[in-house]
Structure 1
């Protein structure tokens, strides 16, 4: 079934001085799935994500995406291959409108840096495609609003739109629900489910009810190593997982 695996790691390790943040992680993400990476604070989730998206070089190990070894590739290279990360920063231009933010992302996809100096008429040719993406994430009524005026959850929806503009085959979502109220969580959860229909998603997420609702498969990290894997029903009952969460002061893994 190896042809179903879109992203895999073998022996992925990251050491900082004498500290091993990620230790021999063998991860397999199935094509078309929503795969969650969870674990108590200090488990190595963010470091692992930074290794996958090439923000950090690994000390040892290999990363393979769509059959290509991307271990030594740069972030811009893997984005062109269709592996795109979202949410590590609020990746929008606050003073520009929602529509113009998405249009800039479409320009990036074309890779034409001169677009920034072209006439409004030429750029407006991208408006139709940009508006379709704005509508897809439920922001049509806010298309002309400056991004800075959006609520927190709607800013996140805009980030999804700008990520989708790059037409990724696989999206890596870095704590998409962080800092959100219930209404925004429900909106973004529904949006992630919608955009996952024709792509693969790997996400780091602390909200375990979201993980339970969205994920096909879950990998639990603890102290930089894989502690357990499976669906939510399986990992949430695993005594090692419960112990890891209770021991970290987070509470029960359910």
Structure 2
């Protein structure tokens, strides 16, 4: 049995009269992979920004683990166990892979913002950071600067830093965007692997990845939920077919 880890009620965001997210009721079940899909402009990333409070909702509420988190600043939401990645890789380019992950480990241990901590003292976090690199297949790149990694490996590094924060709920925003077939396959298997002990909510454009990974799919169009269910259900939904194939996705 699963239970609800994240819920929104009538979540809405307007920009000068334009409705980007329209009264969305979303329910994410604990221990599942839940995908949000939709044509360009459907409101998917705006929804993510509302969940993590990078944007303030016009109306509506967000509930995490039974607690309303609407209005909390992004760092408090992260502290509660919701951590997100972004469409564009957000690693520190001139730090090594190990240093990138170690920063996340430090933050979880309460020393992430202490700029006066000695490098020698921080090495005590190296072993744990190396473990997260191994989880994503980057142990051989521990001493490589992030800027020198391929795009797919940068995304793997970002997932490693997300894991190092030990989230209950991982929000992945377009994790395979811009990748070739080999990197897509690698990231797909990585997401499957890291989902074993946590919940994943992801925005993803690659329907093959969505079909392969997702327990539940929410389809958005023009800021609203168009359909929801497993892949077989939503892929046969007439309005979903129209949205993707009939030119109805220009929100």
What is the TM-score with the length of structure 2 in the denominator?
0.96
**Aligned partners of 1:107 and 1:115 also within 8 Å:** no
What are the residue-to-residue correspondences of 1:6-85 with 2, within 5 Å?
6-85=5-84
**Aligned partners of 1:41 and 1:248 also within 8 Å:** no
What SS does the aligned partner of 2:225 have? strand
Structure 1 partner of 2:219? 220
CA RMSD of aligned residues (A): 1.4
- Greater mean alpha carbon deviation, residues 112-121 or residues 123-132: 112-121
**Aligned partners of 2:242 and 2:248 also within 8 Å:** no
In the TM superposition, residue 213 of structure 1 has moved relative to its aligned partner by 0.3
What are the residue-to-residue correspondences of 1:156-167 with 2, within 5 Å?
156-167=155-166
**Aligned partners of 2:103 and 2:112 also within 8 Å:** no
- Greater mean alpha carbon deviation, residues 199-208 or residues 112-121: 112-121
Gapped runs of 5+ residues in structure 2? none
What is the TM-score with the length of structure 1 in the denominator?
0.94
Paired residues, number? 249
Q: In structure 1, what is the Cα distance between the partners aligned to 2:117 and 2:231?
A: 50
Q: Deviations over 1:173-226 (max 9, x none)?
A: 000000000000000000000000000000000000000000000000111111
Structure 2 partner of 1:189? 188
What SS does the aligned partner of 1:57 have? coil
**Aligned partners of 1:9 and 1:28 also within 8 Å:** yes
Structure 2 partner of 1:132? 131
Structure 2 partner of 1:112? 111
Gapped runs of 5+ residues in structure 1? none
Q: In structure 2, what is the Cα distance between the partners aligned to 1:248 and 1:47?
A: 21
**Aligned partners of 1:40 and 1:248 also within 8 Å:** no
Structure 2 partner of 1:245? 244
Q: In structure 2, what is the Cα distance between the partners aligned to 1:34 and 1:114?
A: 32
> Following superposition, which runs of at least 4 residues in structure 1 exceed 6 angstroms of deviation?
none
Structure 1 partner of 2:210? 211
Structure 1 partner of 2:153? 154
Residues 249, 20 of structure 1: CA spacing in aligned structure 2 closer, same or farther, 3 A cutoff? closer
In the TM superposition, residue 88 of structure 1 has moved relative to its aligned partner by 4.1
Q: Deviations over 1:160-180 (max 9, x none)?
A: 011111100000000000000
**Aligned partners of 2:32 and 2:215 also within 8 Å:** yes
In the TM superposition, residue 50 of structure 1 has moved relative to its aligned partner by 0.8
